[in-house]
Amino acid sequence: MKPLSNVKNSWSPDFAYVIGLMATDGNLSPDGRHLHFTSKDLELAALFKRILGLSNKIGRKSRGDGGDKKYFVVQFGDINFYRFLLSIGLMPNKSKILGSLKIPDKYFKDFLRGCIDGDGNIHCFKHPESQFPQLRVRIASASNQFLIWLKAGNAKILKLAGGWIEKGKGVNILCYGSKDSLRLLKNIYKDKASPYLRRKFLKAEPFMRA
């Protein structure tokens, strides 16, 4: 008989990062056992596998019926990990109903980095009047309650003073202005040995160096 779990359910910076990935791009099957992680980035799918110690192959799939298989997916079964995720506030069909999660303060910045690598965006644009580059960090979610909780955690733990939530078509976006965005980035990338998606780090790096 196969063991109930291969994943070590123990908090660490890497583990918290994976929880951030699961909160954004992960899915719990209603069967109480199987989990999926889907990403456009092969690097992120491989990182997810490595941290959890999975031997499963990375598959490909399209969004909806037909079309190009642009997405990379990791599918695996792990009853204890599934139950652990339920215990901290994740659930099947979470997209629109996800709320607060039980993340230790010590690992919140690692969790946040996982959320940004999953459904976040590091954006630079020129101010229409001054033409100076402006930095924005944004995190998208179909659940407004999740973003409200995330904003409160950022204020408490990272001491971010601002932030606002924009409502879009089918999705809400937590946004931060330049000052808060820079503080956020310097926090989540403070430990250079921690896992991150390289293409997003490369967008952040010039601002952190300035």
* Banded model confidence at residue 191, pLDDT cuts 50, 70, 90: very high
* Banded model confidence at residue 128, pLDDT cuts 50, 70, 90: low
* Banded model confidence at residue 1, pLDDT cuts 50, 70, 90: very low
User: Could you tell me which residue, 89 or 6, shows the higher pLDDT?
Assistant: 89
Looking at residue 28, its pLDDT comes to 97
Burial 141-170 (b: 16+ CB within 10 A, else e): bbbbebbebbbebbeeebebeebeeeeeee
Q: CA 150: distance to chain centroid?
A: 11
The domains located in the chain, with CATH, are 13-95 (3.10.28.10), 107-209 (3.10.28.10)
Lowest model confidence (mean pLDDT) among 34-48, 58-72, 97-111, 162-176: 58-72
Question: In angstroms, rounded to a whole number, what is the distance separating the alpha carbons of residues 200 and 210?
Answer: 17
pTM value is 0.93
Average pLDDT (41-46) is 97
Q: What is the mean pLDDT of the chain?
A: 93
Q: What are the tens digits of pLDDT across the range 131-168?
A: 677 899 999 999 999 999 999 999 999 999 999 999 98
- Looking at residue 107, what DSSP letter applies? G
